[in-house]
Each structure stands twice: as C-alpha cells, then as structure tokens.
C-alpha cells in the first residue's frame, strides 16, 4: 500500500519503537478502562496496532483479534514478537479502512491506541464513520487521545476530548466513560484522555 501520512516516520524506527511500546503493559495503558473490557471472548479489532502489544494481550485473554497496522516494518515486528498468538494481521489504515470494511466484518471491541492525533479534522470525520460501521450493535470503542506539545517534524494535530466525544455521538457512539491521566513515558508536557464509547443498537 502507499505511504500513509503520519506513519512514515514509524517505519524507520520500527525496532526501537516496538521496544518502547512493549515496555508498557496493556493493563497499565488501559488501567482506567480495564473493568469495561468484556470478560468473555469476543471479536476485537486493534486499529494502528503497532508492535501488537495490545492485540497480543487481548488474544491471550481468548479474544479473536484482528491487528490493523499500515507500517510494514512495525507490522513485521509485531508478527515476530507475537507470532505464537492467533492474531490476524492486516495492512490497512485510517481514515477509510477500505480493506477492513470491504470484508463486511463487525467487532464487539474496536481499539485505537495513540492513533487519533495523526488525523486532521476532516480525516477524523471520515474515520469516525468507518469506526462506527465496524462496531457491532452495543459494541465498544476504546480510544486514547494525546494532548500536549507536538514533536518537531511529526504529523500530529490537537485532538480535544470534547470534540471527539461530540463527533462520536454524531455517529451513534455514546461516551460512557472518560478519564484523563499523565503520560506513561513520563513526559511532563504530555497528557492522555481515554474514552470508552458504546455503539447504540438503534442508531441509523
């Protein structure tokens, strides 16, 4: 697939980034939302899966997991690190997720960890429509949003939590849990919001 805006720099540093991602446990990243994840096995799609840390943790819990990662180098790192687990890796990307949507699959859990800030406002509108289409009725979407300084040369945008919640509601995704916390890598000028959204079954 063609180079994805915002993802190009990840390929050149895939090994180092994978090590960084894997140094923080999934349960620590989502500590404030862990009680909302289904206890019984369900279908999960991890969009922007990176090294596969989150996909692997969920697969170990018995969930059926699809890991979507557009950067080939990172995808291969994930397959190398977590090749023993039954994770279905896919090459696709936001905002449209054309490959995934053509498969006509819907998921009980849609996960987006540290990816939303790479989309400009117009792309977020398209992406939220795609995400809502992928979420099963009463399914959940878990998102982390980065706030703070933007590193020089990186394609990142400001992503206010309230704007994201409002955009999600317009696509039938109701926010039922929201929390803000410190940066897990210890950066004083960065904070994160975590959102739990639920797809309304009656939404058309």
DSSP character string of 48-108: T-TTSHHHHHHHHTT-EEEEE---HHHHHHHHHHSTTS-EEEE---TTT-HHHHHTT--EE
**How does DSSP classify residue 40?**
S
11, pLDDT greater than 60: no
In this structure, CATH architecture of domain 8-148+161-199? 3-Layer(aba) Sandwich (3.40)
What pLDDT, in 10s, does the model give residues 120-130?
999 999 999 99
What pLDDT, in 10s, does the model give residues 132-141?
999 999 999 9
Whole-number pLDDT of residue 159: 96
Whole-number pLDDT of residue 203: 62
Q: In which band, very low, low, confident or very high, does the pLDDT at 2 lie, cut at 50, 70 and 90?
A: very low
Tell me which residue of 98, 93, 85 sits closest to 49, measured CA to CA.
93
What pLDDT, in 10s, does the model give residues 154-199?
889 999 999 999 999 999 999 999 999 999 989 999 999 999 999 9
4, pLDDT greater than 90: no
- Residues of the chain with pLDDT > 70, as a percent, come to 90
Cβ contact 137:72 at 8 Å? no
What pLDDT, in 10s, does the model give residues 40-60?
999 999 999 999 999 999 999
Chain centre distance of CA 25: 15
Quick one: which H or E segment has residue 175? strand 173-182
Tell me which residue of 104, 108, 98, 121 sits closest to 44, measured CA to CA.
108
Whole-number pLDDT of residue 35: 97
Query: Region 5-19: what's the mean pLDDT?
Result: 61
Whole-number pLDDT of residue 92: 96
The C-alpha torsion from 137 through 34 and 114 to 138, rounded to 10°, is 10
Q: In which band, very low, low, confident or very high, does the pLDDT at 1 lie, cut at 50, 70 and 90?
A: very low
Tell me which residue of 99, 106, 92, 85 sits closest to 42, measured CA to CA.
106
What pLDDT, in 10s, does the model give residues 63-111?
999 999 998 888 999 999 999 999 999 999 999 999 999 999 999 999 9
What pLDDT, in 10s, does the model give residues 107-120?
999 999 999 999 99
Cα distance between residue 6 and residue 16, in whole Å: 17
């Amino acid at each position: 697939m063609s180079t994805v805006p915002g993802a190009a720099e990840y390929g050149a540093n895939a090994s180092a980034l994978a090590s960084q991602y894997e140094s923080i446990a999934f349960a620590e990243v989502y500590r404030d939302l862990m009680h909302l994840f289904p206890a019984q096995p369900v279908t999960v799609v991890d969009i922007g899966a990176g090294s596969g840390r989150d996909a692997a943790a969920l697969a170990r819990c018995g969930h059926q997991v699809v890991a979507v990662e557009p950067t080939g180098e990172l995808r291969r790192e994930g397959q190398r690190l977590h090749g023993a687990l039954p994770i279905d890796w896919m090459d696709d990307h936001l905002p449209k997720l054309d490959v995934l949507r053509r498969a006509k699959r819907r998921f009980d859990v849609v996960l987006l960890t540290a990816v939303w800030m790479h989309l400009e406002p117009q792309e977020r509108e398209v992406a939220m429509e795609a995400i809502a289409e992928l979420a099963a009725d009463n399914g959940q979407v878990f998102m982390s949003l980065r706030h703070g300084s933007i590193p020089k040369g990186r394609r990142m945008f400001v992503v206010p939590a309230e704007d994201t919640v409002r955009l999600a509601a317009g696509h039938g995704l109701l926010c039922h849990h929201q929390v803000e916390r410190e940066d897990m890598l210890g950066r004083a000028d960065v904070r994160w919001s975590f959102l739990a959204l639920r797809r309304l079954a009656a939404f058309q």
